Chains A and B, each alone.
Chain A
């Protein structure tokens, strides 16, 4: 039942007031009674004193009469008697005028001194007798007077005893009253103390404590400590205040919780934005993003899910990042076409697909699948294209929540930015690489062009003097005849040197001319055969056996035939030079699918691209580990100064690279060497 505070206070004070009144009343009553008793006692004591005095006077009043009758008595006995009698009469009068508390007392009081007038008369008679001494009548009167005096004294005594008894009773009563009063006062004090304590406790409990509790709780909240409710169960204004306070605390808690959740959401989104700025591969970025999604406490998802993106083939989702998925699921969901299963449907519709359990839409199922739910959230670009899907696992029976969906939309938007940015970066990188490649080639071509021009200039400037020298030597040979063998040897040396110098210049020119290709579809086996024919005499001369394993029906390759012949001739010549004691030369050709992915700008082949491969392997001296890395460097040579300029393999490599092909050398010292040339097919 609701009672207002003012009513409670009023009621309590009223009760207290009543209690005080009652207390005062009782105290007053008892005090009054006590006072009356005291008053009575005083009166009784007065009466007793009066009666006592009367008794004394009565005993004394007859003495003058007795003395009057005694011979030798004084003459003033009558005077004495009058005085004493007057005293007695006063006393009797006073006694009769007393206040009596009961009838018995009043009756007894009436008896006191009732016979005194007779006594007085008798006494006066005696005293008026002129010869009263020895007078028989006087004696009789005296006896009568004594008897009356005795009765009167007895009456007085009776009255005295009665008064005394009453006085004792009153005294006793007075004592009781005093005790009662004391007790009542004590009890009253105790009751009041208890009452006041009760009042204090009541006010404390109903007013002060709740208010202090409210204040303390409010202070705690103001200091930023824990927000908690107050426990006030009163059904009054303070109870109302407590209710309002608790509502406010609940609102504050709800607001705090909302802020905390928003902060958690913002933190995750900020982390995702940070990820987007990091220079890491897309897969790693998406894996980090997925991990952050599971860090929000209120987002009740199982820490299991994946992110699909659309890459390469449009209309197909490719699993790019995952957490907690088994190998079986990863394999099953490696590639999901739009429209298939929940993620495919989300990709197709561009809307979030939610399921609380495994239903008919969950087309990708596996043996032993446990019932669970999903959020499949499409990642949409600014121009409304589906870039991917976020797939999160949920407990069965999970209720779809607008707040969760809103959060996932925000995440999807950030991921859209990440994916688009990465793709743009990759496209840019690829375009940059292509541009750089083209630029490098252009620079190289220009360099080569410049070198070519330089080489042409150098060749012209150097070859002409060489031509003059050669002509000069030819003339001298004809004109100088001497027995001195040295002269002819010297001429021969000069001619050889001219040829050597000419070769060097020519190779330089060749090196510079590499960039200009006359590409045509050719059968590489034919090119190989032509090259072999060109130097077949050398094979015979050096005792080198040729073993061919060239596959038929190879796809054509796009090559400059002359340049490729130059390449093969160069490689064959190197092999022959490495087999001075003869040996075997294996020539193989075949086609295959490229099994190495592009790693550098100069890798011209995609993974899986069909290519034609030529292998030329000798059984010669091989190349040591320390030389193998430099084998294609210009001017590097393992041959003596008479045998090579070191430009052959570098020219060969330049030609292959200009064809956008690959050339590799595999060799170990004394274990022969194998040159592997990979070319693009038409």
Chain B
């Protein structure tokens, strides 16, 4: 079975390392890690992910900027983006209509199990 491609854009190196490790451990995902937000657009263009996990608070371009950048590209605008945020609590997700700027979000810290649930919910 073809693996689903996940691009994770987050400046936290160890976190991205662990997420890649856990997702690829399932055998269902191919994960690309990008720790520099300004490279995210180029990575997406090249990797063509099925879903992008996007941290919000990053140095330089933040998650919002990257999302806007992606949206402006016809080939990339339809890729589902899921924000990863350290600020919003999970139980706020439901009452916050579950989105930031139209994109769903996951609150850190998140267990691998929950992460996979979200990925499967939003992946194309």
Chain A residues proximal to chain B, CB less than 8 Å? 456, 459-460, 462-464, 466-472, 474-475, 478, 495, 498, 502, 506, 509-510, 562, 565
Contact (A467, B110) CB under 8 Å given A460-B57, A475-B22, A562-B95: yes
Interface residue range, chain B: 10 to 19
Contact (A463, B109) CB under 8 Å given A468-B15, A471-B22, A478-B25: yes
- CB pair B109–A475 under 8 Å, yes or no, is no
The answer to the question of B100 belonging to the interface, with a C-beta cut-off of 8 Å to chain A, is no
Sample (18) of A-B pairs whose CB atoms are under 8 Å apart: A456-B87, A459-B86, A460-B57, A460-B86, A462-B86, A464-B12, A464-B86, A464-B108, A467-B15, A467-B110, A471-B18, A475-B22, A478-B25, A495-B111, A498-B109, A510-B89, A562-B95, A565-B95
- CB pair B110–A470 under 8 Å, yes or no, is yes
- CB pair A471–B25 under 8 Å, yes or no, is no
Given A464-B86, A470-B110, A471-B19, 9 more A-B residue pairs with CB atoms under 8 Å apart are A460-B57, A464-B108, A467-B12, A467-B109, A467-B110, A470-B109, A470-B111, A474-B22, A510-B89
Collect the chain B residues with CB atoms within 8 Å of residue A565's CB: 95
Tell me how far the C-beta of B72 lies from the nearest C-beta in chain A, rounded to whole angstroms. 27
Collect the chain A residues with CB atoms within 8 Å of residue B108's CB: 463-464, 466-467
- CB pair B57–A471 under 8 Å, yes or no, is no
Residue from B15, B86, B95, B111 whose CB has the most chain A CB atoms within 10 Å = B86
Residue from B15, B18, B22, B109 whose CB has the most chain A CB atoms within 10 Å = B109
Collect the chain A residues with CB atoms within 8 Å of residue B113's CB: 474
In the bound assembly, the distance between CA atoms of A471 and B31 in angstroms comes to: 15
Tell me how far the C-beta of A150 lies from the nearest C-beta in chain B, rounded to whole angstroms. 194
Tell me how far the C-beta of B80 lies from the nearest C-beta in chain A, rounded to whole angstroms. 21
In the bound assembly, the distance between CA atoms of A234 and B89 in angstroms comes to: 116
Bitwise, B79-103 to A at CB < 8 A (1) or not (0) is: 0000000110100000100000000
Q: Determine the residue in chain B with the shortest Cβ distance to A457.
A: B57
Tell me how far the C-beta of A552 lies from the nearest C-beta in chain B, rounded to whole angstroms. 26
- CB pair A502–B87 under 8 Å, yes or no, is no
Collect the chain A residues with CB atoms within 8 Å of residue B15's CB: 464, 467-468, 471
In the bound assembly, the distance between CA atoms of A467 and B14 in angstroms comes to: 9
Q: Determine the residue in chain B with the shortest Cβ distance to A569.
A: B91
Collect the chain B residues with CB atoms within 8 Å of residue A495's CB: 111
In the bound assembly, the distance between CA atoms of A462 and B110 in angstroms comes to: 13
- How many pairs, one residue from A and one from B, have CB atoms within 8 Å of each other in the complex? 58
Chain B residues proximal to chain A, CB less than 8 Å? 12, 14-15, 18-19, 21-22, 25, 57, 86-87, 89, 95, 108-113
Partner of A502, one of B14, B19, B22, B109: B109
Top 8 A-B pairs ranked by shortest CB distance?
A471-B18, A463-B86, A467-B109, A474-B112, A467-B108, A466-B109, A470-B109, A460-B86
Residue from B14, B57, B108, B111 whose CB has the most chain A CB atoms within 10 Å = B108
In the bound assembly, the distance between CA atoms of A262 and B18 in angstroms comes to: 96
Collect the chain B residues with CB atoms within 8 Å of residue A472's CB: 18
Collect the chain B residues with CB atoms within 8 Å of residue A509's CB: 87
In the bound assembly, the distance between CA atoms of A462 and B86 in angstroms comes to: 9
Contact (A468, B12) CB under 8 Å given A463-B108, A474-B113: yes
In the bound assembly, the distance between CA atoms of A298 and B111 in angstroms comes to: 94
Collect the chain B residues with CB atoms within 8 Å of residue A464's CB: 12, 15, 86, 108
Collect the chain B residues with CB atoms within 8 Å of residue A475's CB: 18, 21-22, 25, 112
Collect the chain B residues with CB atoms within 8 Å of residue A471's CB: 15, 18-19, 21-22, 109, 112
Tell me how far the C-beta of B51 lies from the nearest C-beta in chain A, rounded to whole angstroms. 17
Q: Determine the residue in chain A with the shortest Cβ distance to B14.
A: A468
In the bound assembly, the distance between CA atoms of A498 and B18 in angstroms comes to: 16
Q: Determine the residue in chain B with the shortest Cβ distance to A501.
A: B109
- CB pair A468–B18 under 8 Å, yes or no, is yes
In the bound assembly, the distance between CA atoms of A466 and B53 in angstroms comes to: 18
Q: Determine the residue in chain B with the shortest Cβ distance to A464.
A: B12
Tell me how far the C-beta of B37 lies from the nearest C-beta in chain A, rounded to whole angstroms. 14
Q: Determine the residue in chain A with the shortest Cβ distance to B56.
A: A460
In the bound assembly, the distance between CA atoms of A456 and B86 in angstroms comes to: 8
In the bound assembly, the distance between CA atoms of A354 and B25 in angstroms comes to: 103
In the bound assembly, the distance between CA atoms of A463 and B12 in angstroms comes to: 11
Collect the chain B residues with CB atoms within 8 Å of residue A468's CB: 12, 14-15, 18
Q: Determine the residue in chain B with the shortest Cβ distance to A470.
A: B109
Tell me how far the C-beta of A461 lies from the nearest C-beta in chain B, rounded to whole angstroms. 8
In the bound assembly, the distance between CA atoms of A565 and B87 in angstroms comes to: 19
Collect the chain A residues with CB atoms within 8 Å of residue B19's CB: 471
Collect the chain B residues with CB atoms within 8 Å of residue A462's CB: 86
In the bound assembly, the distance between CA atoms of A530 and B12 in angstroms comes to: 38
Collect the chain A residues with CB atoms within 8 Å of residue B57's CB: 456, 460
Contact (A506, B12) CB under 8 Å given A466-B108, A472-B18: no
In the bound assembly, the distance between CA atoms of A462 and B87 in angstroms comes to: 11
Q: Determine the residue in chain A with the shortest Cβ distance to B84.
A: A467
In the bound assembly, the distance between CA atoms of A577 and B49 in angstroms comes to: 47
- CB pair B87–A459 under 8 Å, yes or no, is yes
Tell me how far the C-beta of A260 lies from the nearest C-beta in chain B, rounded to whole angstroms. 82
In the bound assembly, the distance between CA atoms of A51 and B109 in angstroms comes to: 188
In the bound assembly, the distance between CA atoms of A498 and B87 in angstroms comes to: 15
Tell me how far the C-beta of A527 lies from the nearest C-beta in chain B, rounded to whole angstroms. 13
